[in-house]
Amino acid sequence: MSGNPWTNQEEARLLAMRADLIDFRVIAKELQRPLSSVYAHHAVLKARRENAGTAVRVVGRKTCVKNGGPGEAKPRKCLCCGHEFPSAHAGNRLCYRCRGQSFSPFEIRV
Ligand SMILES: [Zn+2]
């Protein structure tokens, strides 16, 4: 029932088995969960996965800080005009002049 939460391990197994095109009925038996629950949870996981891409892009600034490090300041070429400028961090890809305009590099990519 819904009062029986899925563990990360079960979710990973469900996704792995689906990736191998294993039938939902077999997965349900394997995970000892009702078929309907396996179906429903797989849909949830798929949706979550698709949303994850957008979520990463939405928090792009934070992700970039994590990857590049906030202190990683170096000259970068502006994505907009190609002009080299002192960039504050890896997520900072527009020169001051272009950033003055009303868009961000994250919005351009969508
Ligand atoms: Zn520029």
Give the chain's mean pLDDT. 79
**Greatest pairwise CA separation for the chain in angstroms:** 60
Per-residue pLDDT tens over the stretch 29-83: 999 999 999 999 999 998 888 777 665 555 545 544 444 445 568 888 999 899 9
Query: What is the pTM assigned to this prediction?
Result: 0.45
Residue type, 27: I
Give the pLDDT confidence score for residue 95 in this predicted structure: 87
Give the per-residue pLDDT at 106. 56
Q: Please give the single-letter amino acid code of residue 20.
A: D
Radius of gyration, alpha carbons of the chain: 22
pLDDT at 100: 74
For residue 82, the CA-to-ligand 1 centroid distance in Å is 6
Give residue 108 CA to ligand 1 midpoint distance, Å. 13
Residues 41, 45, 47, 49, Cα dihedral to 10°: 180
Return the DSSP state at 5.
P
Enumerate residues with CB within 5 Å of ligand 1 (an ion): 78, 80-81, 83, 95, 98
In order, the DSSP letters of 77-109 are E-TTT--EEEESSTT--S-HHHHTSS--HHHHT
